[in-house]
Amino acid sequence: MRRVIHWFRRDLRITDNTALGNACNESDEIIPVYILSTWKKRHSWTGPNRQEFLCGCLESLSRNLEAIGGRLILRAGDPVQELEKLIHET
């Protein structure tokens, strides 16, 4: 069985998402993940309104994935380290 980790970054849609579509076509199982990078806290563009919007988008993404049998994995930290951990866990 071929597993693919799909790292959601900016495009939090499951429809009309080219990268996700390609991953689905090339694998037997998709492991969807979003990593809240710790560096985002240090920039002014990540104010409370943007953070609230992101939380709403992630909730919607999670519900959409659950509706088709998936489960969004949420992580916080350095993206490279979190992806490495996820690779070893799956």
Of residues 49 and 75, the one with the higher pLDDT is 75
Q: Could you tell me the pLDDT band of residue 89, with boundaries at 50, 70 and 90?
A: very high
Of residues 47 and 9, the one with the higher pLDDT is 9
Rounded to whole angstroms, the maximal C-alpha distance in the chain is: 43
Q: Dump pLDDT digits (tens) for 15-71.
A: 999 999 999 999 999 999 999 887 655 666 667 888 889 899 999 999 999 999 999
Cα 31 to Cα 34, 41, 53, distances in angstroms = 10, 26, 23
List of domains in the chain: 3-89 (3.40.50.620)
User: What is the pTM (predicted TM-score) of this model?
Assistant: 0.86
